[in-house]
Amino acid sequence: MQYALLVQGSPYSYQASHSALRFAQAVVRRGHSLTAVFFYHDGVYNAARLAAPPQDEPHLYDAWAQLHREHDTELLVCIAAALRRGLMDERESSRHGKAGHSLEPPFILTGLGQLIEASTAYDRLISFSP
Amino acid sequence: MQYALLVQGSPYSYQASHSALRFAQAVVRRGHSLTAVFFYHDGVYNAARLAAPPQDEPHLYDAWAQLHREHDTELLVCIAAALRRGLMDERESSRHGKAGHSLEPPFILTGLGQLIEASTAYDRLISFSP
Amino acid sequence: MVLHILNRSPSMSRVFQQALDAMGTDDRLLLIEDGVQGALPQLIPYLEPVLGRLFVLKEDLVSRALEGHCDARAIVVDVDGFVSLTEEADKTVSWF
Amino acid sequence: MVLHILNRSPSMSRVFQQALDAMGTDDRLLLIEDGVQGALPQLIPYLEPVLGRLFVLKEDLVSRALEGHCDARAIVVDVDGFVSLTEEADKTVSWF
Amino acid sequence: MTGLSGGDLLVILRHAPHGSSWLKEGLDTALVAAAFGQRVSLLFMGDGVMALLPGQGSGPLGQKGTQPTLQMLEMYDIDSLWVEHQALLERGLNDMSLSVDATRIEKDAISRLLAEHTQILNF
Amino acid sequence: MTGLSGGDLLVILRHAPHGSSWLKEGLDTALVAAAFGQRVSLLFMGDGVMALLPGQGSGPLGQKGTQPTLQMLEMYDIDSLWVEHQALLERGLNDMSLSVDATRIEKDAISRLLAEHTQILNF
């Protein structure tokens, strides 16, 4: 089956992101396809490229990137939710006249419409919230 | 009196930061001194320098900076909480071998000890949480 | 005297009970944010033990269109009154 | 059949009641994260209406040292079982 | 099936306005889904019913409330609006006029509403 | 004043382990305060009592639990530990041995505990 996840919790404060990653790994282990993970609400903070957790804690950012690398899972970040929270890629940064960026591939800024449009293409959409 | 605030909510998801700012403005209006605002838990996201809220929404980052400018309020961000959430200044960025930074003055990375050490110096510490 | 600050509605969260359990007989309770819902006549019974020491933040009532709907036993204060409550208290505790 | 997923403990949040209200007679409820507390024998009465259709995530029990303390009427599943529940359901709803 | 209100997407709004962004983000999702041609229903449940009180204002620092967004529902052809009757009663709001035209739904009909939609997003 | 447990700082821990970082961040704050020479007390209240169950493990992706931090309390001379008796009873945990030596406190004594500390941080 085609799965997609919606992640709405900030990565180091609530279990939602951890639960979503654990579920994601089980989804692919069981032979399903994990097409996309959408990040909304404080879930967008998962895409912060400068995240530097302590060595003995899980590195969520790297774990998402690995999921993308190994299973082609798209990592889609709601652009409206991201910009107000300080997450912008190079393009948005220059569009806003700022120096530097805080988000980069494999995380992709995208409109809410893409979640909606695509949601008809998945067999299952599972939400993980704080 | 000497006031300090502790802000623990992420800026665009929960009212905590808005409530804290409104309270901060009333504190100084009533003639008190607002010595410091501490950011902990998801409150550290208030310090994201690239925050770009829509034009018709309040710009919390700018409002904090204005508080600092006009009232010398220190904006102190817990470094342990910040680094794992992707907020680092130039110094931490180079220490971690990363390019770019996501936090800059007037927000200052500081240890939890500074909150504690200083807390004996304030008359009132008020917490705003999500 | 301790000022307790509550930002959750008793209709959804049980944290109000923790606040009540922790309150001394002179302590005060201030409802802010989503907590102001607790001042509605139908919900105020949850906070019955602290009536007379129950305050509610005017600005948060207004933005939610609740100002005209409060129980008269909840004492409405604006944000300056909030600061004034913290001046009068030895310390504050926030419940969330 | 709808799979309802609950991550809050009935001891602190009333959201479990919303989940119960929204459940059809064949729907299932899975407790995850802090929600697994609801499988304790003292708290499971809150979820009495869905006994027999009540599941609880093993990994979240284990990390909280609750595995040996569950009520026997809660059906323990691991994360693979979680995925399998989503396969069997037409859709899922998360309560938080 | 009673044909209560079938549709592609049911958005459940359970959080009060202003205290968090859940309500606003749920409404935004509903509007976007409608703009993409989906048949969208809204269910105001629990504290979410507070969003329907007329006369709401802006937030502590002047941020927009959700009232303007609610007024856009009609323009986006979202006319399947449900409000939990029990939640209104519990808050003593049942006799008030609501800012949008929502149908009161009893507890025992909610599960049917969920069953009749292809997808559910819970905010 | 009964001299229950005076001190500079009372840290109240009300959240369960793993579901959020509140418990861990509260404990970290307590340890740092003790390291800076403050007399620190801890109150485990509500879901916070779940932290005291022995045998807790790591989180879903292997992140550290709070058990190692709890074991450090003694090293930092934090020995004023209180646990809400009612919360243990409600969860059926009253007869279990706890992973640290905390004194059971009744509901009606909690306000006195708060009054006897200069500062309170609530997590």
Q: Kindly indicate the confidence band of residue F62, based on its pLDDT and cuts at 50, 70 and 90.
A: confident
**Predicted confidence (pLDDT) per residue in E35-91, tens digit:** 999 999 999 999 999 999 999 988 888 788 898 899 999 999 999 999 999 999 999
**Predicted confidence (pLDDT) per residue in C47-84, tens digit:** 999 999 999 999 999 999 999 999 999 999 999 999 99
Exposure string over B95-128, b if 16+ CB within 10 A, otherwise e: eeebebbbbeeebbbbebebbbebbeebebbbbb
Closest CA of chain B from A10, distance in Å = 8
**Across the interface, do B87 and A57 touch by the CB < 8 Å criterion?**
no
Q: Which residues contact E90 (CB under 8 A, 6 or more apart)?
A: C11, C42, C43
Topology of D2-95 in CATH?
Hypothetical Protein Ychn; Chain: A, (3.40.1260)
* pLDDT greater than 60 at residue A71: yes
Residue A112 domain boundaries: 2-128
E114 vs D2, D25, D94: nearest CB: D2
Of A59-68, C40-49, F58-67, F89-98, which gets the smallest average pLDDT?
F58-67
Average pLDDT, integer, range B21-47: 98
**Across the interface, do A81 and E36 touch by the CB < 8 Å criterion?**
no
Q: Which residues contact F18 (CB under 8 A, 6 or more apart)?
A: A15, D33, D34, D60, D63, D64, F59, F60, F65
Q: Does A16 lie at the interface with D, CB-CB under 8 angstroms?
A: yes
Can you give the pLDDT at residue E5? 60
Q: Which is catalytic among the residues B5, B76, B78, B79?
A: B78
Can you give the pLDDT at residue F4? 57
Task: Give the percent of chain D with pLDDT over 70.
Answer: 100
Distance of alpha carbon A45 from alpha carbon A12, whole angstroms: 9
Ordered structural domains, chain F, with CATH: 7-122 (3.40.1260.10)
Average pLDDT, integer, range B32-40: 97
* pLDDT greater than 50 at residue B108: yes
Amino acid letter, residue C34? D
A78 carries an active-site annotation:
yes
- Enumerate the residues of chain A whose CB falls inside 8 A of the CB of residue D87: 1, 124
In the predicted model, what is the mean pLDDT of chain A? 96
Domain count, chain B: 1
Q: How far apart, in Å, do the first and last CA atoms of chain A sit?
A: 26
User: Above 0.95 for ipTM, yes or no?
Assistant: yes
Closest CA of chain D from E16, distance in Å = 14
**Across the interface, do D15 and C12 touch by the CB < 8 Å criterion?**
yes
Count other C-beta atoms under 10 Å from residue C45's C-beta. Answer: 11
- Enumerate the residues of chain F whose CB falls inside 8 A of the CB of residue C91: 118-120
pTM tops 0.95, yes or no: yes
Mutation test of the interface with chain F: which of B14, B40, B116, choosing the one with the most F Cβ atoms within 10 A?
A: B116
Task: Give the percent of chain C with pLDDT over 70.
Answer: 100
Can you give the pLDDT at residue E4? 57
A10 vs B10, B52, B57: nearest CB: B10
Is chain F in touch with chain B: ≥3 Cβ pairs within 8 A?
A: yes
- Indicate the SS3 state at residue F68: helix
**Across the interface, do A15 and F60 touch by the CB < 8 Å criterion?**
yes
Q: Kindly indicate the confidence band of residue B120, based on its pLDDT and cuts at 50, 70 and 90.
A: confident
Query: What's A60's domain CATH number?
Result: 3.40.1260.10
- Enumerate the residues of chain D whose CB falls inside 8 A of the CB of residue F44: none
Residue with tokens 């817990």: B78
Closest CA of chain F from B117, distance in Å = 7
Can you give the pLDDT at residue F59? 84
Domain boundaries, chain C: 2-95
E:7-46 residues touching chain D, CB 8 A cutoff: 12, 14, 45-46
